[in-house]
Amino acid sequence: MPHFVEELQQEAAGAIARMKQAALAARHIHARAELMRHMLTTAKKVAGKPKAEAVETVVSEWMQAWNLERTQWPHIAREMEAFTEAFHDYANTPSDVHDAILRQNCEALDAALAREGTSISDQMAWRSQCAHGWWDKVSPTPADLPGGKPRPSIPQPEANTAFWDQACADFCR
């Protein structure tokens, strides 16, 4: 049977591991949810425009928000266009059919991003001007992010480490 101090250390290690897992899962789903909320809001803003014009407006806005140049990321731009078309249709006529198409296009965009070693949640957290600061504290923006640009709304993380590694760096190792 472990002694009191050892038992507490083991319990703490388990609790920290569960907290890390929960924080990473929360960051992933919250970043995705924020993109979907922003996409729907933006699609509704341009819902009355002709579809091609509306899609172009939204795609341009999001490629810019993610600091991605279309000429450098044409395959991502194509998936973003299809994703945005699905949002346009859903914003104009919410239905189960349009929701299913939206979900399919979301999966296709995430698959294209995965081939680049990223995801919708990483794009939102590491590139978007709409990122929430706590996302970077859970999964810091890589210092060598290709095409990454500083975002004044996001404080620079301490040495690009997750918050749980910052406080204990000198004392807990």
Residue with tokens 């945005």: 84
Residue with tokens 């729907």: 40
Q: Copy the structure tokens of residue 50.
A: 């002709």
CB of 58 closer than 8 Å to CB of 88: yes
Per-residue pLDDT of the chain (173 residues; tens, 9 = 90+): 889 999 999 999 999 999 999 999 999 999 999 999 989 999 899 988 999 999 999 999 888 888 788 888 899 999 999 999 999 999 999 999 999 999 999 999 999 999 988 899 998 888 777 778 788 888 888 877 766 666 666 665 555 667 666 655 444 44
CB of 139 closer than 8 Å to CB of 45: no
pLDDT tens for 24-63 read 999 999 999 999 998 999 989 998 899 999 999 999 988 8
Q: Copy the structure tokens of residue 55.
A: 């899609």
Total number of residues shown for the chain:
173
Q: Copy the structure tokens of residue 52.
A: 């091609």
How confident is the model at residue 161, as a pLDDT? 67
Distance, in Å, from the CA atom of 116 to the CA atom of 134, rounded to the nearest integer, reads 24
What CA dihedral angle connects 166, 18, 9 and 171, to 10 degrees? 0
Q: Is the pTM of this model over 0.85?
A: no
Residue with tokens 């509704």: 44
Residue from 104, 83, 93, 96 nearest 38 by CA: 83
CB of 154 closer than 8 Å to CB of 131: yes
